[in-house]
Chain A
């Protein structure tokens, strides 16, 4: 049981390039999310999904696309990278339900856009 995995761990992009951050979970969780963490700030929600085929925007969705074709995978696409997207990106998953359904976080991807 690997939990939530993210690839790559580190990435450097030039302004205008595109790329996909990968996220996978093996816990059969319905809910998955992408957050970004900027220096001195907490995590902010980019996009989330409540099940395969269903996605929605979070607090800071501009410049990012997501899709959820399977329960396991939830990739995050940067369409045209900008220096403002330099951040640490976390993917998280959680089971559907009520109560203390904490989100299980991946190890993060550190992205630098030059």
Chain B
């Protein structure tokens, strides 16, 4: 069965430094997609970045990059040059298959605190 594991309940980082949030996944499917969402204290879910299982290059979106290690089944989120506004919950999610309805399985999340 699909499973997403985020082993860091909480992380903190100094402003302007980089931070890595861990995510490992378990699936028997060859085709899948991995997502990261940000949830600030206001509660909304904000899409950050996506990686498909067949993508050969790591995804990047501005200050966000996804360190995709397929053999290790890990999809860590790297935030460069942290800002105070990055303080939030971060969720890793997976979707099996690359077409059709994208039913997402979420991890438990990591709370990131950025210190000035």
Listed in ascending order, the chain A residues whose CB lies under 8 Å from chain B are 31, 33, 40-45, 48, 50, 58, 88, 90, 92, 94, 96-105, 107-108, 110
Query: How many angstroms from the CA of A42 to the CA of B109 in the assembled complex?
Result: 6
A98-B108 contact, Cβ under 8 Å, with A42-B91, A105-B44, A107-B44: no
CB of A50 within 8 A of CB of B99, answer no
CB of A88 within 8 A of CB of B43, answer yes
CB of B98 within 8 A of CB of A40, answer no
The yes or no answer to B11 lying at the interface (CB within 8 A) is no
Residue from A48, A58, A99, A110 within 8 A of B52 (CB atoms): A99
CB of A44 within 8 A of CB of B106, answer yes
- Residues 83-110 of B, flagged 1 when their CB comes within 8 A of A and 0 if not, give 0000000010100001111111011110
A100-B101 contact, Cβ under 8 Å, with A90-B45, A105-B44, A105-B45: no
Residue from B4, B99, B107 within 8 A of A98 (CB atoms): B99
Query: How many angstroms from the CA of A88 to the CA of B42 in the assembled complex?
Result: 12
Query: How many angstroms from the CA of A45 to the CA of B69 in the assembled complex?
Result: 27
A58-B103 contact, Cβ under 8 Å, with A99-B52, A100-B52, A105-B45: yes
CB of B45 within 8 A of CB of A98, answer no
CB of A42 within 8 A of CB of B107, answer yes
Classify chain B: how many residues form its interface, as a range.
20 to 34
B residues in contact with A97, CB < 8 Å: 99
Query: How many angstroms from the CA of A50 to the CA of B100 in the assembled complex?
Result: 9
CB of B98 within 8 A of CB of A99, answer yes
The yes or no answer to B35 lying at the interface (CB within 8 A) is yes
Closest B residue to A107 using CB positions: B44
CB of B102 within 8 A of CB of A43, answer no
CB of A50 within 8 A of CB of B101, answer yes
Closest B residue to A51 using CB positions: B101
- Residues 6-45 of B, flagged 1 when their CB comes within 8 A of A and 0 if not, give 0000000000000000000000000001010100000111
A residues in contact with B52, CB < 8 Å: 99-100
CB of B91 within 8 A of CB of A102, answer no
